[in-house]
Amino acid sequence: MAKKKNSSSENPLLRKAQEEVVRCQVERFHKTYSQYFSRTDTEKLVQFFFEKIYDLDAQDTIIQIAINTYEKVKNQLAADTQENLENLIELNQMTHDLDRGMANTLLEKGWKEGEKLSQDDFLELYKEFGHEEERRQQLRMSVKCMIVSYQLAHRPFNDMLLKAAKGFAVIFGVQPLYDFVEEGYKATKIVKADVFNEFIDTVTDEEINYLESAF
């Protein structure tokens, strides 16, 4: 797992630019998937995968803890829990890197702190930054993380396994990492299979269309 740069040493303007990239991206998700944000059974699902994954403070905390401590705790976790956590961490890191790249491109275009991007501005920036294959990989990973999280949440006895994992998280001082996984677990648990499958189909279609419009 690659080492992540300490956010305290970053260019403050780059951080602000990345915050604006994230804000505009999350705004797009809210518009595109408004029907899921407004449903009680899917609200937490979309909040986790379309907000939490993009939250900069969460990225700083979760990724850094994962880098520093994951190797110490992974052998205490069930194999499928390891896989899910590794997928989430990788998706989180990829998303962070792509957002950072877009932020750099935005600064090169002369962006000033406080300027708001429209959705048209965001799409043009998205096109200019490029990295089409990484974007397609990000989509594949996002869908995979959603599916694996859903499958884990609906396995028998998984509540007990999650409680056991919490004990290890406390012992090894990685509570935020556990909380991150638990939030994804709870977000998918209440969603019925037909609704979840419809959601996955919608996300896949919408995001492929967005990629096609850009590339």
Does the pLDDT of residue 9 top 60, yes or no? no
Query: How confident is the model over 97-140, as pLDDT tens digits?
Result: 999 999 999 999 999 999 999 999 999 999 999 999 999 999 99
Closest listed residue to residue 108, CA positions, set 89, 128, 94, 91: 128
Predicted pLDDT at 10: 67
Predicted pLDDT at 184: 76
Q: Are 151 and 212 in contact (CB under 8 A)?
A: no
pTM of the model as a whole = 0.82
Model confidence at 2, pLDDT cuts 50, 70, 90, reads very low
For the chain, what is the mean pLDDT? 83
Q: What is the mean pLDDT of residues 161-175?
A: 60
Model confidence at 149, pLDDT cuts 50, 70, 90, reads confident
Predicted pLDDT at 35: 97
Predicted pLDDT at 3: 47
Q: Which long-range contacts does 186-193 make (Cβ < 8 Å, 24+ apart)?
A: 186/44, 186/153, 187/44, 187/45, 187/47, 187/48, 187/49, 187/149, 188/45, 188/146, 188/149, 188/150, 188/153, 188/154, 189/153, 189/154, 190/41, 190/44, 191/41, 191/42, 191/45, 191/150, 192/41
Query: How confident is the model over 36-81, as pLDDT tens digits?
Result: 999 999 999 999 889 887 887 766 666 666 666 666 666 766 676 6
Angle formed by the axes of helices 175-189 and 56-73, to 10°? Answer: 110
Q: What is the mean pLDDT of residues 126-155?
A: 90
Does the pLDDT of residue 161 top 60, yes or no? no
Does the pLDDT of residue 163 top 70, yes or no? no
Helix (H, G, I), strand (E, B) or coil at 2: coil
Predicted pLDDT at 183: 79
Helix (H, G, I), strand (E, B) or coil at 197: helix
Report how far apart, in Å, the C-alpha atoms of 139 and of each of 145, 168, 205 are: 10, 31, 11
Report how far apart, in Å, the C-alpha atoms of 71 and of each of 68, 162, 175 are: 8, 18, 15
